[in-house]
Chains A and B, each alone.
Chain A
Amino acid sequence: MGETPHRSADAGTGGIRVASSGQQRPAGASARVAESPVSTRTPGGDGLGGGGGLPRARAFGAERAFRGLTLAAGTAVLVIIAAIAVFLIAKAVPALGANTENFWTYEGWSPNDTAPKFGIGTLAFGTVLSSALALLIAVPVALGIALYLSHYAPRRLGTALGFLIDLLAAVPSVVFGLWGRDIFVNPVRDFSAWLNQYFGWIPIFGGDGPFGKSIMLGSLVLAIMVLPIITSLSREVFLQTPTANEEAALALGATRWEMIRTAVLPYGRPGIIAAVMLGLGRALGETIALAMTLGITFGISFNLIENGGNTIAANIANAFGEANDTGRGALIASGLVLFTITLIVNITARAIIYRRREFTESAA
């Protein structure tokens, strides 16, 4: 019942307003004007007269209905999250019980055998590695594009390019997957071979091949997919930088890049973090494009160019068709792990934004 005083406070202000309009009545012509907006709110009209009492707060009205509606919407989020968690756990537990190997450390995925064996380690590793790599490639490029569009490009060109970038976000991931698997794989294979020849002494570029359908291909395709999200969100944030702050920097003798560093980037920091996290969310959950471009092997390896790699989501897409009951339970357990990873990522992002709250709030 913490909301009761709040509601009565509303009623109080409403009452004062009515009373003051009542006092204005003797002013003649203004009386009609003063009354009409009031009477649309309280059709009964009692208490509107010069000496009458205040109108009573209504027991039920649009105000309360709207409050109820928003409360229901807010609650729905919690209910849905709880329902997902319950579903995942209920399905996963029996399969985890049937597992004859350690779920965390076993490198392999054969849950359909009579003695089910499956481990999440390789998949979780592949998921995190490919996403991290994708962000490493996409974020600098995306921020560069966003800054160019918001602060360097002529306005018309900026708008047109921004539209194209948004269009890139609308390409279905299966199309990216097909393109990556059949076309993009060729230059990546050549580049991998070149890397292997000259930089093979670095473990991540080592190995004897075959190259191509590797973590590198998957990450590059992922990077292209998250690029438009990060770009268009950061562009919006950069455009919102107050002109007053940009001019303050310029008036201190900043070059354009110095102005961006002094005024634009710090102001946009929480927005950039949010954009990157959204991109990471997409990368972590991306399924079909990775199922098509990765080599699908089970084994933890930092090698980026050899055929191989797998992620939780890609594995679910690939293995769900042939899975039996335990197999499905095992896949759902892996989904639960993915859910947890995403949750941790989001909480971390929140924490980063929260830490600088004092500064970002006064910015708003």
Chain B
Amino acid sequence: MAKRIDASNVTAYYGAFKAIEDINLTVEPKTVTALIGPSGCGKSTFLRSINRMHEVLPGARVEGDLTIDGQNIYDRDVDVTAVRRMIGMVFQRPNPFPTMSIFENVVAGLRLNGLRKKSILDEAAERALRSANLWDEVKDRLGKPGAGLSGGQQQRLCIARTIAVEPQVVLMDEPCSALDPISTLAIEDLMFQLKDKFTIIIVTHNMQQAARVSDRTAFFSIEKTGDPGRLIEYDNTQKIFSNPSQKKTEDYITGRFG
């Protein structure tokens, strides 16, 4: 279910602006990797280039190679939608489809894949909601609007929607930044369970969170505003937070950044 990701010399642009430059890193299957760094350092841009969501924005493009189990997702003949089905994404703000019920939200991805049979959808929805630790809270109101849930529940609903299509990799872009501490804890617990099946990459501004949930941590930074973001250090999370090899990393994690 989970796959290995290799990025080599990944450079991403917004129009003429170079947001990240020459990112090289390898993510092992069934691990949680945290991307940390100051605002504007390109960690979200890098995350979005892993499932080719970066190029959705007008004028945005990516150079370099990004391979999933050896296949370059930026090859000319690769179907973008297939890449995105293989690499799911959870966004910063919970974004359930407002016009859909909880059930329809969860099966939205399956419907896009052409699944129509009610029994299969029912089963998949229950499995995804159980995996997202949301089933018990919503099983009696699957027909109610997804937007009526609390923020934390909505984010777990979005996670359920993402894992319902059974991707190989789950990308999370600051999934807890809009949530309260209890909901955050629920999502972090969920990440521990999910890494049995998926490769998870999470962008976070919360260093305790990175330290709690991740196996490996990548620290991104920029020289000054307008410069492209670069990967400064990438190592085991424990090493990064106890004994980083770069001065910049140490400055950042100890709060002496800037």
- Is B108 interfacial (CB-CB < 8 Å)? yes
Chain B, residues 66-81, CB within 8 Å of chain A (1/0): the string is 0000000000000001
Per the 8 Å Cβ criterion, residues 91-135 of B in contact with A are 91, 93, 95-101, 108-109, 111-113
Residues of B within 8 A of A248 (CB): 91, 95-97, 158, 161
CA distance A353 to B112 in the complex (A): 26
The digit string for A243-256, where 1 denotes a CB below 8 A from any CB of B, is 01101111111110
Are A245 and B162 also in contact (CB < 8 A) when A250-B84, A252-B108, A362-B147 are? Answer: no
**A252 with B85: CB separation less than 8 A:** yes
Q: A248-B158, A251-B53, A267-B98 are in contact. Are A262 and B108 (CB under 8 A)?
A: yes
Does chain B have a CB within 8 A of A360? Answer: yes
Contact residues in A for B161 (Cβ distance below 8 Å): 248, 252
Minimal beta-carbon separation of B113 from chain A (angstroms): 7
Decide if B56 is an interface residue (CB 8 Å cutoff). Answer: yes
B182 within 8 A of A: no
Q: How far is the CA of A267 from the CA of B98 in the complex (A)?
A: 7
Q: In the assembly, what is the distance between CA of A360 and CA of B53, in Å?
A: 27
What residues of A have a CB within 8 angstroms of the CB of B111 in the complex? 262
Cα distance, A249 to B111, chains bound together (Å) = 11
**What 0/1 readout, one digit per residue, does chain A (345-364) give for beta carbons within 8 Å of chain B?**
00000000000101110110
* A266-B88 contact given A252-B112, A255-B81, A362-B145, CB 8 Å threshold: no
From A253, A267, A356, give the contact of B85 (CB < 8 A): A253
| CB-based contact A247/B95 at 8 Å | yes
Assembled-state Cα–Cα distance A266/B89 (Å): 22
Bound together, the chains give a CA A247 to CA B53 distance in angstroms of 8
A44 to chain B, nearest CB (A): 44
A135 is an interface residue with CB less than 8 A from chain B: no
In the complex, whether A263 has a CB less than 8 A from a CB of chain B is yes
Q: Which residues, 173 to 229 on B, are CB-close (under 8 Å) to A?
A: none
Q: Report B-chain residues with C-beta under 8 Å of the C-beta of A252.
A: 84-85, 88, 108-109, 112, 161-162, 165
**Most chain-B Cβ atoms within 10 A of its Cβ — which of A242, A247, A255?**
A247
User: Size range of the interface on B?
Assistant: 20 to 34
In the complex, what residues of B have CB within 8 A of residue A244's CB?
A: 91, 93, 95
C-alpha spacing A356/B99, complex, angstroms: 9
Q: Does A155 contact B (CB under 8 A)?
A: yes
Q: Are A363 and B98 in contact (CB under 8 A)?
A: yes
- Candidates A262, A359, A360; contact of B112 at CB < 8 Å: A262
Instruction: Select B97's contact among A245, A253, A255, A258, beta carbons within 8 Å.
Output: A245
Size bracket, chain A contacts: 20 to 34
Cβ of B148 < 8 Å from any Cβ of A?
yes
Given contacts A155-B58, A363-B99, contact A249 B81 (CB under 8 A): no
Query: Which A residue's beta carbon lies closest to that of B96?
Result: A248
- The one of B56, B85, B145 in contact with A247, judged by C-beta atoms closer than 8 angstroms, is B56
The reply to whether the CB of B51 lies closer than 8 angstroms to some CB of chain A is yes
Residues from 212 to 248 in A contacting B, C-beta threshold 8 Å: 242, 244-245, 247-248
The reply to whether the CB of A282 lies closer than 8 angstroms to some CB of chain B is no
Interface membership of B16, Cβ < 8 A: no
Is the pair A251, B98 in contact by a Cβ cutoff of 8 Å?
no
Q: Nearest A residue to B53 by beta-carbon distance?
A: A251
A269 on interface, CB distance cutoff 8 Å:
yes
Structural contact, B99 and A359, CB atoms closer than 8 A? yes
Among the interface residues B81, B85, B97, B108, which one has the most CB atoms of the partner chain A within 10 A? B97
Asked whether, in the complex, the Cβ of A360 is within 8 Å of the Cβ of B109, the reply is no
Contacts of B95 in A (CB 8 A): 242, 244-245, 247-248
A283 CA to B88 CA in the complex, in Å?
47
Query: Closest CB of chain B to A103's CB: distance in Å?
Result: 44
Residue of B58, B97, B99 with most partner-chain A CB within 10 A:
B99
Contact of B89 among A251, A269, A362 (CB under 8 A): A251
Sample 16 A-B pairs with CB under 8 A, ordered by A number: A242-B95, A245-B97, A248-B91, A250-B53, A250-B56, A251-B89, A252-B84, A253-B109, A254-B112, A255-B81, A262-B108, A266-B97, A359-B145, A362-B145, A362-B148, A363-B147
Known A-B contacts: A244-B95, A251-B88. Give 16 more (CB < 8 A): A244-B91, A245-B97, A247-B95, A248-B97, A250-B56, A252-B84, A252-B161, A252-B162, A253-B81, A253-B82, A253-B84, A254-B81, A262-B108, A262-B112, A267-B97, A269-B99
Q: Lowest 3 A-B CB distances belong to which pairs?
A: A253-B85, A363-B98, A362-B147
